Chains A and B, each alone.
Chain A
Amino acid sequence: MAVQDTGIGDRLMRVPPAPRTQALRSVRRLPVRKDWPTLVIVAAQFGILVGLIALWQAAADHSWIDGFFWSKPSAIFATLIRFFAGGEAWTDIGFTFRSTIFGFLIGTICGSLLGLSFWWSRNYAAVVQPYIICFEALPKLALAPLVILVFGIGLASKVAIATALTLVVSTLTTYAGVKAVDPDQEKLFYSLGASRFQVFRKLVVPFCLPWIISVLRVNIGLALTGAIVGEFIASQHGLGRQILYAGNTYDIALVWVAVLVLSTLAVIMYAAVSWLERILRKGIRQ
């Protein structure tokens, strides 16, 4: 090429040959990744579960571990049957479920609205922000005993703790969405003669929806944690109370049963929220 000489060509020429010669170069095939069929994966997962339970049972039967503190699968299973036959089970499950769902809904909805409200005034957002950050940094569970005193030992206090945990997450995430709204997009709306409310309704809210939705799964877990901690501190019902009670009376099998039921509840709620998230995402088509 007839470009002016920059000296780069010269320098390239003078690069010494690489020390490794062609013969020494190691030649490999691209590593092949083999995927097991789904059935094999499921079988392996199931096998591990069965193996662990069997090992636990054997260990307790042969006194390799202390059956009193660790309990054992057969005892847990018997307690499980008794737990559901007793009739208390569904009251407890219902109680924990309700506190979680109410806390989740109130926290998520109020948090999202609070986050969206910051769009309306930068001054207001600037004034309120430090309080939100402080509240986020605060270990909210530390306030639980106080919440119980204020709201009593019934459902309200559990809902309050669950709300406190979920509210901030939703607020901050939604606020992040609000801050990410493209100023040019706002400019376009205003150039079309839009009012602030139109910009809010037709731009800010739909734009922030994916942010709002993205916290749902986090929040359902947090709400459950809040509800359980509330029940630990003082409650007449709930799976958390059941775990605490069983622990205090050394009924270790019952602890395991309550934990098992709680985990099942958590998985079901998580799946339901994931499903909800998919539906909502499809609805807004990001």
Chain B
Amino acid sequence: MSVKLRLDQVGMTFRTPNGAFTALAPVTLSISPGRFVSLIGPSGCGKSTIFNIVAGLLEPTSGRVLIDGADATGTIGRVGYMLQKDLLLPWRTVLDNVILGMEIQGVPLRQARERALPLLHRYGLSGFEYLYPNALSGGMRQRAALLRTLLFDTDVILLDEPFGALDAQTKLQMQEWLLGLWADFGKTVVFVTHDIEEAIYLSDEVHVMATRPGRIIESMPVPIARPRERGATLTPEFMAIKERCLALLMAGHDPPLSEAA
């Protein structure tokens, strides 16, 4: 199978006054085109570091990032990156926020808007096109932010806990919405979350990470047929994966507070 995104021994060491700090031990990861891949792990396991390196915002101290086999280490604008916050610009309408990526790439404004409008309508933002972000609910803002990432037209998109700040019910809706979008656009998605169930439900593969140093400790495929029903989260095979993830995450944990006290 061909590889869309490949991390080749990517490592990151920061120099601090107390000596070198390894944020990311060399990580190797290959992702096939059109796959939905999740990274889960405790905070400080280097998930965001990986994303910053893949997005070209951070130069790794070792290793290379390959996109379609070509070296893309330290180059920006190669992948769509959605950060935890929606980061919509308050002085722009939803429509003009969504076209930001195209605008920066030099697409004429009119053309960009013409391209974005039907997508806004199709993906649940009709009626919001000309509103300003502060008039939108959290879920709607995340939708706009995700569409902005998608309209940037890169094959790979990185989603850093996009639904982390949403309430449980909105989160479920957004997951379905995201799966629909992914099926339509056929992008390669790398998804970071703290929510194990979310990771398994959405993904083709789940990579579990650990801290000190940040690294991938286990990768597991999710062999559940798509399209998935919500009920899939209750099947034994889903439960087995979830249990395995939980075990891995708990193993790396410090003893809980109550035992320490």
Contact = CB atoms under 8 A, between A and B. Distances in A.
A44 B87 CA distance: 50
A189 B132 CA distance: 19
Interface string B62-95: 0000000000000011111101010101110000
A122 interface: no
Given A187-B83, A189-B104, A193-B105, A284 B91 contact: yes
A88 to B, nearest CB: 47
A190 B76 contact: yes
A184 B89 CA distance: 12
B76 A191 contact: yes
Contacts of B104: 189, 192-194, 198, 202
B55 interface: yes
Contact of B87 (A182, A194, A198, A286): A182
Nearest to B52: A187
A209 B92 CA distance: 14
Contact of A285 (B76, B91, B101, B152): B91
Interface residues of A, number: 19
B105 A191 contact: no
A192 B152 contact: yes
A192 B89 contact: no
A192 B85 CA distance: 16
A206 interface: yes
Nearest to B145: A188
Contacts, number: 54
Interface string A168-202: 00000000000000101101111111100010001
B87 A184 contact: yes
A189 B77 CA distance: 9
Most buried by A among B77, B87, B104: B104
Interface in B201-238: none
A124 to B, nearest CB: 23
Interface in B23-76: 52, 55-57, 76
Nearest to B77: A193
A203 interface: yes
A193 B91 contact: no
A191 B87 contact: no
A263 to B, nearest CB: 36
Contacts of A286: 90-91
Nearest to A4: B258
Contacts of A185: 87, 89
Chain A interface SS verdict (over half): helix
Contact of A191 (B81, B89, B103, B132): B81
Contacts of A189: 100, 104
A46 B197 CA distance: 70
Chain B interface SS verdict (over half): loop
A50 to B, nearest CB: 46
Interface in A203-217: 203, 206, 209
Given A191-B76, A192-B152, A206-B91, A285 B85 contact: no
Most buried by B among A182, A194, A206: A194
B132 A193 contact: no
A161 B179 CA distance: 63
A75 B131 CA distance: 59
A65 to B, nearest CB: 56
Contacts of A209: 91
A188 B81 contact: yes
A182 B90 CA distance: 13
B144 to A, nearest CB: 13
A203 B89 contact: yes
A190 to B, nearest CB: 5
Most buried by B among A182, A188, A191, A194: A191
Contacts of A206: 89, 91
B70 to A, nearest CB: 16
Contacts of B55: 191
A185 B88 CA distance: 9
A191 B87 CA distance: 13
Contacts of B78: 193
A45 to B, nearest CB: 37
A5 to B, nearest CB: 14
A75 B109 CA distance: 65
Contacts of A193: 76-78, 104-105
A270 to B, nearest CB: 26
Interface of A: 182, 184-185, 187-194, 198, 202-203, 206, 209, 284-286
Interface of B: 52, 55-57, 76-81, 83, 85, 87, 89-91, 100-101, 103-105, 132, 152
6 contacts: A187-B83, A189-B104, A194-B76, A206-B89, A206-B91, A285-B132
Instruction: Across the A-B interface, give the 10 residue pairs with the lowest CB-CB distance, nearest first.
Output: A193-B77, A191-B81, A192-B101, A191-B55, A194-B104, A192-B104, A188-B87, A284-B91, A206-B91, A193-B76
